């Protein structure tokens, strides 16, 4: 099957500062929660590989941008690290700022437009010690960081984002307790989710102020990136199954979509939270602050759908409210390495939802990718990894993107996660995502997999075969 994407549709790479830069002791960088956790308990990381090196991009970025250029990619999204740009008093760290100025200049030289996100799960550890997202002070500190970033890099960066996947910390760190600070308390998770929404809105307000003062480029824009997951349930759902969909969709998708598109939060979700003893910690005047949350465009990360049904119990073992339980679709296809369902049509379904509900809102696929364990087993006699599964994965998703565009969705580009293998949190380098591999045994050297040539063809012709 062949599909075509519009001539001005862009292709690029999705990455993040904490997963690529390394250089954790350089430029006066402070400890993030990931650096701290790696120091405290290296056994929590696959093969004992902590956060310190990323994929060594902090040392190799010139070569990496050359690779992007060679593959026909014209943009990439990374994130600044709060811990590198800002010191413990809230002031700019000049050495850290220069690190990013140099990176931006190097990207430009290779014709790569570097989009900049401000936060990718990388809370400074000293902020966590002060209460992290549970405290309003952190919201204000984040707005201060954003203000500094917009003003310092205003003439260099065109596309800004406030957060990547803001839903992940409330879930992973405060409900499921898998990530530092290992909490299982839904009420606290709701506070975190609410404060991140406010932090996003305050950062957008800072952007608008900088815009008014002419301190950012005239073509600059700001967005929010979330892992939107189209929700599905059984074919013949009960009212309770539909209720499970409402709250799952509400917390995961609508919360962020309403905030980004309209500057509001979904009232039905807020009401249900209050009824389940997890009210948002709203203060007078917050609605006005949240109204600044409207963005210029949206990043849509897509890996898998979410399939739910009515829960069996109302509360979990920690006494937290439960709104849904997983529904295993009998026809599901899995990426066994990651334990994630592969369902390309989800990208279309959610893209069309954006189109239906917010017809003017432009978006791009800001992450999509396939992480596979043990890729060495796929090397041919010449040593090249034959990753046809990655080609199939991207082809199938792009076909649905092309169809969404045909049907009126304003999807303007696609960033693959991660064009070059990188460090994946606790999984470290277990699952490899790249079209380009990284050899951990030989100085993090880069090498092309079979799919790199395929990507180059797609990125330069916009024909997907
Ligand atoms: C997204 C994150 C990325 C990235 C990716 C792949 O949710 O934005 O940071 O890591 O998922 O997931 P993982 O690295 O856990 O395999």
Q: Kindly indicate the confidence band of residue 110, based on its pLDDT and cuts at 50, 70 and 90.
A: very high
* Residue whose structure tokens are 């900049």: 116
The answer to whether the CB of 122 is under 6 A from ligand 1 is no
3-state helix, strand, coil in the chain (%, to 5): 45, 20, 40
Q: Which of 417, 428, 431 to mutate to test the pocket of ligand 1 (most atoms within 8 A of CB)?
A: 417
How many distinct structural domains can be found in the chain? 1
The answer to whether the CB of 311 is under 6 A from ligand 1 is no
Q: Are strands 75-79 and 113-117 parallel, antiparallel or unpaired?
A: parallel
271 CA to centre of ligand 1 in angstroms: 31
445 CA to centre of ligand 1 in angstroms: 22
Which residue's CA is minimally distant from atom 6 of ligand 1?
A: 424
Which residue's CA is minimally distant from atom 2 of ligand 1?
A: 165
Q: Kindly indicate the confidence band of residue 180, based on its pLDDT and cuts at 50, 70 and 90.
A: very high
Which residue's CA is minimally distant from atom 13 of ligand 1?
A: 424
The answer, yes or no, to whether residue 8 has pLDDT greater than 90, is yes
**Residue 406: its pLDDT value, please?**
97
Mean per-residue pLDDT for 103-122?
98
228 CA to centre of ligand 1 in angstroms: 13
Q: Kindly indicate the confidence band of residue 1, based on its pLDDT and cuts at 50, 70 and 90.
A: confident
329 CA to centre of ligand 1 in angstroms: 23
Model confidence pLDDT, tens digit, residues 292-340: 999 999 999 999 999 999 999 999 999 999 999 999 999 999 999 999 9
Model confidence pLDDT, tens digit, residues 122-165: 999 999 999 999 999 999 999 999 999 999 999 999 999 999 99
Q: Which of 252, 337, 367 to mutate to test the pocket of ligand 1 (most atoms within 8 A of CB)?
A: 367
Q: Which of 44, 117, 425, 426 to mutate to test the pocket of ligand 1 (most atoms within 8 A of CB)?
A: 425
Length of the chain: 465
- Residues in Cβ contact with 94 at an 8 Å cutoff, skipping those fewer than 6 apart: none
Would you name the residues annotated as active-site residues? 165, 367
Per the DSSP assignment, residues forming a β-bridge with 37 are none
303 CA to centre of ligand 1 in angstroms: 9
Model confidence pLDDT, tens digit, residues 15-59: 999 999 999 999 999 999 999 999 999 999 999 999 999 999 999
Burial 411-443 (b: 16+ CB within 10 A, else e): bbbbbbbbbbbbbbbbbbbbbbbbbbbbebeee
396 CA to centre of ligand 1 in angstroms: 20
288 to 139, 161, 198, 208: CA distances (angstroms): 15, 21, 10, 15
Which atom in ligand 1 lies closest to the alpha carbon of residue 369?
6
**The domain that contains 41 carries what CATH number?**
3.20.20.80
Q: Please provide residue 308's backbone torsions phi and psi, each rounded to the nearest 5 degrees.
A: -135, 165
325 to 179, 220, 457: CA distances (angstroms): 21, 41, 42
Which atom in ligand 1 lies closest to the alpha carbon of residue 227?
7
The answer to whether the CB of 371 is under 6 A from ligand 1 is yes
User: What is the C-alpha to C-alpha distance for residues 228 and 355, in angstroms, rounded to an integer?
Assistant: 14
Average pLDDT, the chain: 98
Model confidence pLDDT, tens digit, residues 48-93: 999 999 999 999 999 999 999 999 999 999 999 999 999 999 999 9
Domain assignment of residue 75, given as a range: 3-464
Which residue's CA is minimally distant from atom 12 of ligand 1?
A: 424
Stated pTM of the model: 0.97
The answer to whether the CB of 431 is under 6 A from ligand 1 is yes
Model confidence pLDDT, tens digit, residues 399-409: 999 999 999 99
Q: Are strands 75-79 and 10-14 parallel, antiparallel or unpaired?
A: parallel
> What radius of gyration do the chain's Cα atoms show?
21
* Residue whose structure tokens are 């309770």: 240
Model confidence pLDDT, tens digit, residues 257-287: 999 999 999 999 999 999 999 999 999 999 9
């Amino acid at each position: 099957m062949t599909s075509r994407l519009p001539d001005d549709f862009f292709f690029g790479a999705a990455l993040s500062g904490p997963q690529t830069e390394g250089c954790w002791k350089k430029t006066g960088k402070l400890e993030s929660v990931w650096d701290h956790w790696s120091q405290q308990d290296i056994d929590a990381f696959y093969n004992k590989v902590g956060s310190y090196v990323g994929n060594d991009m902090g040392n190799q970025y010139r070569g990496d941008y050359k690779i992007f250029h060679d593959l026909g990619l014209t943009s990439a999204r990374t994130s600044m690290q709060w811990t590198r740009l800002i010191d413990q008093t809230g002031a700019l760290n000049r050495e850290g700022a220069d690190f990013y100025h140099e990176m931006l200049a190097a990207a430009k030289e290779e014709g790569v437009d570097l989009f900049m996100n401000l936060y990718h799960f990388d809370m400074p550890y000293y902020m966590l010690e002060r209460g992290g997202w549970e405290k309003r002070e952190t919201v204000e500190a984040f707005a201060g960081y954003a203000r500094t970033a917009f003003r310092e890099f205003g003439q260099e960066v065109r596309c800004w984002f406030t957060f990547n996947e803001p839903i992940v910390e409330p879930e992973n760190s405060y409900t499921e307790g898998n990530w530092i600070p290992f909490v299982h308390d839904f009420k606290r998770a709701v506070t975190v989710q609410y404060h991140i929404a406010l932090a996003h809105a305050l950062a957008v307000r800072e952007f608008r102020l900088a815009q008014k003062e002419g301190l950012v480029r005239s073509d600059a824009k700001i967005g929010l990136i979330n892992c939107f997951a189209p929700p599905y349930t059984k074919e013949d759902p009960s009212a309770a199954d539909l209720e499970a969909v409402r709250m799952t969709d509400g917390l995961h998708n609508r919360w962020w979509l309403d905030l980004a598109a309209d500057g509001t939060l979904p009232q039905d979700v807020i009401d249900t939270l209050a009824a389940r003893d997890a009210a948002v910690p709203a203060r007078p005047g917050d609605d006005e602050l949240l109204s600044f949350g409207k963005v210029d465009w949206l990043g849509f990360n897509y890996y898998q759908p979410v399939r739910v049904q009515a829960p069996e119990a109302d509360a979990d073992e920690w006494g937290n409210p439960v709104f849904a339980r997983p529904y295993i679709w009998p026809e599901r296809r899995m990426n066994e390495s990651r334990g994630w369902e592969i369902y390309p049509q989800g990208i279309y379904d959610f893209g069309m939802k954006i189109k239906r509900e917010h017809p003017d809102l432009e978006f791009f696929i800001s992450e999509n990718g396939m992480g596979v364990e043990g890729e060495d087993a796929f090397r041919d006699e010449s040593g090249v990894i034959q990753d046809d599964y990655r080609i199939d994965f991207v082809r199938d998703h792009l076909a649905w993107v092309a169809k969404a565009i045909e049907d009126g969705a304003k999807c303007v580009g696609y960033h693959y996660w991660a064009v070059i293998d990188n460090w994946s949190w606790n999984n470290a380098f277990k699952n490899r995502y790249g079209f380009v591999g990284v050899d951990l045994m030989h100085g993090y050297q880069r090498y092309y997999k079979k799919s790199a040539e395929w990507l180059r063809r797609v990125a330069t012709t916009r024909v997907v075969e």
